[in-house]
Amino acid sequence: MLVTVTKDKQWLKIALNRPDVHNAFNAAMIKELTQVFRSIDKSVRAVVLNGHGKSFCAGADIEWMRSMANFSYDENIKDSRVLFEMFETIFDCPVPVLAQIHGNVMGGGLGLVAACDIIAAEKDTRFGFTEVRFGIVPAVISPFISRKVPEYLMREMMMTGEFFDSAKAEPMGLIHFSGEAEEVSDFIQGKLDFLDNNGPESVRAVKSLVKSLKSWDWARSKEETIKLIAERRVSPEGQEGLRAFLEKRAPGWKTK
């Protein structure tokens, strides 16, 4: 298995599993990871994504890149579409995706990070948009990076291809927290504890709303948000949340 999957109650833990190559992805891993995220069902309330071994993800596998050296333009289009759809599937995952990262996070590995919702990195994690070093461009990952990183920083880091650490990645917007390995684990667990307090359908609705807002004009934002709050107020989950608050008890969805 190039991707391992374990379920702990309502949390799904997905780990990249090519530690011998720092979890660099190839066609088989891309396919497997895409399938795993597409198969997430209603019983899952959040996903934690990490990597086995010394690194989270060092980007594209060198042997996979070597095999593409003689691809035609059309073959490259097909291959790049599959890669984009992997990032898109993670980005579109209906539940929160938390990334716990370490080691090397290069090239497409940064695309995986940017597709996630909440990211914590060990403080010695090393990042880099290394594509330009090979005469190519971080094109497929750029729409996901641009959702997090200001344009002036994208220009700097993508054009230079320089390496940077968690101390720079955090203010850039790529990650939310950096610390020692134990602190990173505690941060991720803390976020899961917060999510456990919240209505799972409401959390899904928030994720969908935040994604949609960028594409709506003011008039549509007005109508869609009015409808959404009305729908949530009369939903079974909304009603349960209100009753639990008034009755000073834990709501039915809380597990702890």
The alpha carbon dihedral of 176, 177, 183, 184 has a sign of positive
In a domain, 90, yes or no: yes
pLDDT tens sequence across 184-224: 999 999 999 999 999 999 999 999 999 999 999 999 999 99
Here the CATH number for the domain that contains residue 175 is 3.90.226.10
Full domain range(s) for residue 210: 199-246
128 in Cβ contact with 160 (< 8 Å): no
In a domain, 179, yes or no: yes
pLDDT tens sequence across 141-168: 999 999 999 999 999 999 999 999 999 9
Pair (81, 121) in one structural domain: yes
In a domain, 44, yes or no: yes
pLDDT reported for residue 63: 84
175 in Cβ contact with 149 (< 8 Å): no
Pair (143, 76) in one structural domain: yes
In a domain, 253, yes or no: no
In a domain, 254, yes or no: no
Instruction: Identify the domain boundary among 195, 214, 233.
Output: 195
- The pair of three-digit structure tokens given for residue 185, joined into one six-digit string: 């684990």
Which residue type occupies 239?
Answer: Q
- The pair of three-digit structure tokens given for residue 186, joined into one six-digit string: 């505690």
Pair (17, 109) in one structural domain: yes
Calculate the alpha carbon distances from 92 to 104, 110, 189 in Å: 25, 17, 22
98 in Cβ contact with 120 (< 8 Å): yes
Pair (155, 237) in one structural domain: no
Number of domains in the chain: 2
Pair (162, 221) in one structural domain: no
Pair (37, 130) in one structural domain: yes
Pair (139, 33) in one structural domain: yes
In a domain, 255, yes or no: no
Pair (212, 188) in one structural domain: no
In a domain, 238, yes or no: yes
Label residue 119 by pLDDT band (50, 70, 90): very high
Pair (157, 239) in one structural domain: no
Pair (76, 124) in one structural domain: yes
Distance CA(25)–CA(108), nearest Å, equals 8
Calculate the alpha carbon distances from 71 to 27, 31, 68, 156 in Å: 14, 19, 5, 30
Pair (16, 107) in one structural domain: yes
Calculate the alpha carbon distances from 16 to 49, 139, 141, 146 in Å: 8, 23, 18, 24
Q: What is the 3-state secondary structure (H, E, C) of the chain?
A: CCEEEEEECCEEEEEECCHHHCCCECHHHHHHHHHHHHCCCCCCCEEEEEECCCCCECCECHHHHHHCCCCCHHHHHHHHHHHHHHHHHHHCCCCCEEEEECCEEECHHHHHHHHCCEEEEECCCEEECHHHHHCCCCCCCHHHHCCCCCHHHHHHHHHHCCEEEHHHHHHHCCCCEEECHHHHHHHHHHHHHHHHHCCHHHHHHHHHHHHHHCCCCHHHHHHHHHHHHHHHHHCHHHHHHHHHHHCCCCCCCCCC
In a domain, 251, yes or no: no
pLDDT tens sequence across 46-88: 999 999 999 999 998 988 888 877 889 999 899 999 999 999 9
Pair (212, 143) in one structural domain: no
Average pLDDT estimate for 226-242: 96
